[in-house]
Structure 1
Amino acid sequence: MTCLLAACAAFMAGGVTATVAQSDGPLRIEITDGVIEPLPFAIPNFVSEDGGSADIAQSISRVIAADLASTGLFREIPQDAFISGISSFASPVAYSDWNAINAQALITGAVSGSGGNINVKFRVFDVEANQPLGEGLQFSGGAAGWRRMAHKIADVVYSRITGESGYFDSRVVFVAESGPKNARRKRLAIMDYDGANVQYLTDSSALVLAPRFSPRGDQVLYTSYETGFPQVYLLDVATVGRRVLSSQEGTMTFAPRFSPDGRTVVYSLSAGGNTDLYTMDIASGQARRLTQAPSIETAPSFSPDGSQIVFESDRSGSQQLYVMPASGGEAKRISFGKGRYGTPVWSPRGDLIAFTKQNAGRFHIGVMRTDGSEERLLTASFLDEGPSWSPNGRVIMFTRESQGSAGEAALYSVDISGRNLRRVLTEGAASDPAWSPLLK
């Protein structure tokens, strides 16, 4: 990352801009204030090198531009402002022409195809430094996978400029909703992070809730009312085959999540009027009770190293957040602000816990340190709930529901600074998003 492209890195580190000091050693980011100016970039339509890939080349360019602009960290310079174009991937870059329109980053690429496959190569340039930003790369695969290639390229560009891993080549599992508000039908669906390529995993014959991806993204846990009572199911994304994870007569199971190694599930089990946390080994089906309190314990989430679990409980008289060892034991309360706290989710970076907060008639998505310090509310509305982290721990997706008889649920995202609140476009109402890891 060069000095001219480093302002974004400070924003990623804490929601603030920075100055960059040049020295004989590595670049140093000095945090200075809380204002961010999106970095202007130019991306001419990728060149079609075989004459028959022009449409795909243009589409790939547009998806890359949309990915970067959607972060709020980047601002695309319109193509009608370009002084010079890119007619050949091998042509030298006229840096002065791109500098004249205030582009700080330039992305160029080319596409060629043969026999149903395409090859996409690209480069990133630091315009002010008059030099490439890293080496050129290329991706190859079936033409039907062009969107994934575009997301992968955007991830590389994002990473080179910010110093953080990207999150564009990922998917989201969610609950697709239809029908009137008082008789809503719900089914599981999966889509690209930006709402494209929707596929349905279940039908709408039974109410489904709270889907959660496995660490490898190949399985999904969810709660279904298929039997009339909530039960946890495990679904294979590729085959859509599923099975009940735990079924004991007279009990209800819900709010499941995978452990970081994908071998264990933590969930809530309600029996005899009491709700506690349990873990289950997926292979053997052996369950273990973690809590014994005469209160409601639910919404558990593992820390990234698997050593701790954060959850919500009303053991103190109101809904609050607690952290305990993953093997059970003494729990420590970490939420102490006004209002009620729920649906905690540990960041994949391990530094923050996202949550839903209800206070004074408003709902919020917020984050706090893992010890409960430095609480920050990122959103406020009639009903915001159910945060889910992007793979790099920098963006949170959640459900926002509008009020009134015609109100419906929609998916939104916001970065951890509270900036760049955006609606995620879906065909209909949607809720309960869960972000996958980066795809392989």
Structure 2
Amino acid sequence: MKIAVVDGYSTGRALVSALRDRGTALVHVRSLTTPPGYYTRGFRAEDFEALLDGTGEPARLAERLTALGVDRVVAGTESGVILADTLTHLMGLPGNRYETLAARRDKQLMGDTAAAAGVAVPHGGAFADADEAVDWYVSGGLGEAVVKPPSSAGTDNVRFCRTADEVHTACKTVLAADNFFGQPNPVVLVQERVRGVEYYANTVSRDGVHRVAELWRYTKRTGSAGYPVYDYEEPVPVGSAEAAPLCRFVGAALDALGVRWGAAHTEVMLTERGPVLIESGARLGGGTAPSVVERYSGVSQTGLLADLLVAPDRLPAFDDAAVRWSGAVRNVALINSSAGLVRSLDWTARLEALPTLVFLAHGVTAGEYLGETVDLISSPGYVYLAAEDPRDIERDYRALRALEEAGLYTS
């Protein structure tokens, strides 16, 4: 078995490890001329028997992969979604619907495609001009709006707005900027801000049969600049009553977007009018430690995807509703509120001293300037807290936030 990973960065690195553990030979394909540094941290070229440039003609690349004996192509992270699905189509391998390829990256087309299939989405539009966007916002009588790029990642330039001036400023910012992957934003997406409880489902699919490997409930906060900042997330048992309507909705959304094979990360807001699709990516969820998830639930999306790629016949027998979590778990995003120079990494020992901390991931180096956390990309990292008693987790979560407020990373 030989598998090509397109952009094996972020959680894709964990997938590479899982596939190597299963005895799989790997080829790496780079879809971007210059991948973001945030993604490439920890990338190990020695994990692959070949490193290919994927910025040229996909048909020629597909021929090269076929000649190398590649059996499967998979996206390691968001930037690899389009190329991975294109190569899968050209090589005649199991994959997602090619006709809805663009709808799995462009968020406006995603919303239109999902809505046409009867999946609830926020009311919104895409605009090439900030004034036109403001006119739409005002005429629609929206109290709050979300402004964001059409195709990016990591809450890049996502902003909550309450006034026409705020919408105008946010739209101008997006239109003048490149997205997280260094690509220009030809339009800006403006949507109603839907309120409720937000979740994400990490799924794995085979021939249109979807299994929910992980379901998590988000808690976010609004940062000082008006951008959404990740706070923490907690797992929801897939077999629970809370999960049932969400899992049905996610399955319908994946069907609408043509996700038939592989991983997907789907964000849903449970509102008074029912579930509403925020967005979906045809790739692994990020900001996760699969080894920790597996320790407390027995399965992770990364592990389930690796099993699918190596032994696809196993997935239909996987009963996602039977998965049980042992104790309470919370994935907490680190938040830096005091921009400044990181003098040392002594702060890691202070976090590791928290009784319920079981995992710490960060990308901070001593001597660097660490800005205020305004989005996912500017977060110093994340930790997992785990305990039998959720009150212990809450205690340590509050202690962590108190340390951060006191300038943990830069004092």
Q: TM-score, normalised by structure 2?
A: 0.28
Q: For CA contacts below 8 A with separation 6 or more, give which structure has more relative contact order.
A: 2
- The structure carrying a bigger helix percent of its residues is 2
In terms of fraction of residues, the more strand-rich structure is 1
In the superposition, the TM-score normalised over structure 1's length comes to 0.26
